Amino acid sequence: MALTGHLDGPPLVPPGTAAAFADEVSARLATATADSARPVRVHGASLLAERAAFTGHRRQGRLSAGGAGRLLRTADGWAAVSCARPDDPLLLGALVGAALPDDPWPTVVAWVRAHTGAELAERAALLGLAAAPVDPSPALPLPAPGRPRSPAGLLVVDFSALWAGPLCAQLLGLAGARVVKVETPQRLDGARRGSPGFFRLLHAGHRAVLLDPTTAGGRRAMSALVDAADIVIEASRPRALAGFGLDAEAAARQGTIWVSVTADGRDSPRVGFGDDVAAGAGLVAQDTRGDPVFCGDALADPLTGLFAAELALSAPENGRGRLFDVAMSQVVSATLAPAPGSPTGTAHRDGAGWAVDTSDGPVPVAAPRRRTVTGHAPAPGEHTAEVLRELRIPSP
């Protein structure tokens, strides 16, 4: 809530039950790992705002807390558009069909205002641009986890980046899994360009491997890593995986628990990040004018990372693993039903902070807080030779 609303106004109550959902999942993680030497005990609701505790992000209304996403009017409603990657300004130019100045947003705002949300979504999908109309859909059933097993000693191979997948891997690592982060020379984890402290939180104690999928040796080494893995985490569409020489369905048939995290499902062409996915699914608050504002900080990411960790703990059944297709938009949608006892009205001043009224009385609005970080985050490829040697994989 502290990250929802306009900076010059009170924090706003987000719709739905995201914080309660996060607490419920974290409680199930604690139960599933209770017999482990290192049970996972985290405060799920706090994880939703944790990045802001490292970065100092604040609520910014229709500009996302991290500054990369914007809520823009379309011809028939509202849409969320992100410009988070180095190449995204070029994609925005392709979207509007014009060369853009240093500040692309006035031109983009005008183009979006003249087109419908469906037109924006179709063009963005073709370009690989993260954009979506604010268009809540009915919640679909989430994948159901299987019987949990202890992650202690299991090998987790993590091809993901940014927040959702790495959070999943970090929680598994807390419970004793051996986590190997895989990057390519062509695309290092973009989170390395962000907060060093937050990146260290998610990756401390993990080992880092750098492999080049454009070479035969790199593809062979990636395939061998997957063959050795108990759990694989990735955030790519099937065609991209095929270019790496990887087959999620085949790995699952052979006993691997495979967790695929995407914006809208493995078969969707949509590209998305935490802010635009959450807003597109309908997780927006309304300001005093009735216009939407972003809720929290990229909430689709931590919500999905928590839930993905629960799925990843599933034990193989009869020698066969499972492929979990985890759509961030679907996870967000599952949190949007109203809940009894939710905060009501608007926040009011409470000393130097804010409080909000609930059925149990006023409750302070919590500031983002961070967990303690121990250890260091590995540099790209820091452990390539060590990991390959340990797993008896020929060096590429």
The pLDDT tens digits for 65-108 are: 999 999 999 999 999 999 999 999 999 999 999 989 989 999 99
Q: How far is CA 197 from CA 157, 168, 204, 268, 373, in A?
A: 22, 18, 10, 33, 8
Q: Which residue in 324, 167, 328 sits closest to 260, CA to CA?
A: 324
Token duo for residue 156: 């987790």
* CA–CA gap between residue 391 and residue 336 (Å, rounded): 44
The pLDDT tens digits for 243-268 are: 899 999 999 999 999 999 999 999 99
The pLDDT tens digits for 314-359 are: 999 988 999 999 999 999 999 998 766 667 667 899 888 999 988 8
Q: Which residue in 160, 155, 167, 164 sits closest to 230, CA to CA?
A: 155
* CA–CA gap between residue 89 and residue 101 (Å, rounded): 10
**H/E segment holding residue 344:** strand 344-350
Sequence-ordered list of residues with C-beta below 8 angstroms from that of 114, at least 6 positions apart, any chain: 75
Specify the pTM: 0.96
- In the chain, what is the greatest distance between 2 CA atoms, to the nearest angstrom? 63
Q: Please give the domain boundaries of the chain with CATH numbers for all domains.
A: 1-396 (3.40.50.10540)
**Res. 137: pLDDT tops 90:** no
The pLDDT tens digits for 152-190 are: 999 999 999 999 999 999 999 999 999 999 999 999 999
* CA–CA gap between residue 131 and residue 125 (Å, rounded): 8
What pLDDT was estimated at residue 345? 66
